[in-house]
Chain A
Amino acid sequence: MPKVARLCLFLCCWLGLSAVQAETIHEERSKYRDITVTQVGDRRCLLFNVHRGDRNQTCVMVNERERLVFDYTRMSFAGLLLNPDPQRILVIGLGGGSIPMTFSDLYPQAEIDIVEIDEAVVRVAEEFFFFAETPNMEVFVDDGRPFIKRAGIRGETYDYIVLDAFSGDYIPEHMLTREFLEEVQAIMTNDSVLVANTFSTSRLYDHESVTYQRVFGDFFNFKLPSSGNRIIIAQLQSLPPRGELVSRAREFGDRLKKYDIPLVDYPRRLSTRVDWDMSRRELTDQYSPGNLLRGN
């Protein structure tokens, strides 16, 4: 415990220090949030609702744009271990755009759709985070849930789906429910992989895990000791054996090195072990008190 406390203290000091040194290069109040862009040396970060002490949404190194700075951003590519050749990619939640830009760099031929509810975020990503649409990469200013529901009705499918939508405190409540995940299933094929970025702390962890398990059955739970994020990796078909993940990581690892993604380290971190309270209630459109559950 003291070790953890020391680590926390160190982190607080470090955050405090970096906050002091950070220079704010852009501030705006959008329909949904306060957006701040700061820069410390080479590192430029996007922050939402700074006054509430929210964490950085995303950071880039101005002179090494390809490098991914955050664990959770890198972890979002672990789905490549299950589907190494995605041709249609859907990213819900743009942020600074590092995830879609990395995909676009890796798979220039792939069609990438990005859904972002806040047009101000799109502007800021373009202006400060080197994000640019390409003929193959398009941003839709929309809410993720209706976008996915409509895609499902039109019979469209994606083979790599990243759920990374955060509003205010956490994932919007209507994107945590069983019905939503079923709509996501409708745009998946057997080979598709779903990668959802969630937090590993808070009581909501149990509820989320129960909900994902009910909809998808077993899924990979991906956590790193250095990150507070938990990445859920799910497929319609049953999950591949570890050996397959390891060989894919070996095959593929080099291509991801320039983004700082340590893919070879990932397979042993993907776990199907149930480490949540299975008696927790699943989240549905009828019962999804989201943020109210986080505090407890």
Chain B
Amino acid sequence: MSFQTKRPIPRSIVASMTFASGFCIMTIEMLGARILSPYFGGSLSVWGSIITIFMLALALGYLFGGRLSTRNPNPITFALFFIVAGLFSLPVILFADAIMRPIFMAIEDPRYGSLFAAIFLFFIPTSILGMISPYAVRLMVSNHEHSGHMAGLLYFISTLGSAAGTLGTSFYFVLWFEVNQILWATTAILVLSGCFILLTSYVLESKSFKPAAGQVKRA
């Protein structure tokens, strides 16, 4: 059985990109309550809605990301996750009011109002972001023996990114910037990360047809 991927990419880059995705997920999640509160208030149930929808979206993302990684794993698809997630975050910036107003009008109960608003605003970008981790595991794994090690390393790095996003947003970013400025920055980070992966993979491929050290076929 072969563990070689089509277009190899250094593990350090894969790992640092998962840091960025963890960072962006939690930055958006922390801002979620701020975005919903003008319509649905600051009650505990609003936080509950946001966390529930992020968890469900991530769960679905993990499932599909893992499944996608079995078919021809390659850096291009990996890069696309970032770019597409960044693009699907744009409605949160551009159409948040237009999305929340009809929900606010239609649903009186702030629990379900906030739940539906969270679905429409955050479900798609978050589920795409969820695909990144399992796919990254596949890109980093080159044999059976170290697959657990690589998965652990990735969880470690992406969760560190999540911690950094949570702390940075709640302690500092909201003090320095407007909500939308922070969201523009996360979108930019995601799109630029995707472009960086694409660029690296093309450069590496054009430089040499030899696979990089980490991805030498060992099977």
Question: Which residues does A use to contact B, with CB under 8 Å?
Answer: 31-32, 117, 142-146, 149-150, 153, 167, 172-174, 177, 179-180, 284-289, 292-293
Contacts and interface: CB of A to CB of B under 8 A. Distances in A.
Given A286-B180, A287-B179, A292 B38 contact: no
Interface of B: 34, 37-44, 104-105, 108, 110, 171, 174-175, 177-180
13 contacts: A143-B110, A144-B41, A146-B41, A146-B104, A172-B37, A173-B34, A173-B42, A174-B34, A174-B38, A177-B38, A285-B34, A285-B37, A292-B171
A149 B36 CA distance: 13
A149 B41 CA distance: 10
B41 A117 contact: yes
A60 B173 CA distance: 42
A31 B37 CA distance: 17
Question: Closest 3 A-B residue pairs measured CB to CB?
Answer: A143-B41, A286-B178, A174-B37
A114 to B, nearest CB: 16
Contact of B43 (A117, A179, A286): A117
Given A32-B44, A167-B42, A292-B174, A173 B37 contact: yes
Given A286-B180, A292-B175, A293-B175, A146 B44 contact: no
A180 B40 CA distance: 12
B179 A285 contact: yes
Identify which of A144, A284, A287 gathers the most chain B CB atoms within 10 Å of its CB: A287
Given A150-B108, A172-B42, A286-B178, 18 more contacts: A31-B44, A117-B41, A117-B43, A142-B41, A145-B37, A145-B38, A146-B110, A153-B105, A172-B37, A177-B38, A179-B38, A285-B34, A285-B179, A287-B178, A287-B179, A288-B34, A289-B174, A292-B174
A285 B42 CA distance: 13
Identify which of A153, A289, A292 gathers the most chain B CB atoms within 10 Å of its CB: A289
A32 B179 CA distance: 25
A149 B42 contact: no
Contacts of A180: 38
A274 to B, nearest CB: 25
A177 B35 CA distance: 13
Contacts of A144: 41
A172 B37 CA distance: 10
Contacts of B34: 173-174, 285, 288
A143 B175 contact: no
A234 to B, nearest CB: 20
A285 B43 contact: no
Nearest to B113: A146
B175 A142 contact: no
A292 B39 CA distance: 22
Nearest to A145: B41
Contacts of A145: 37-38, 41-42
Contact of A286 (B40, B41, B44, B179): B179
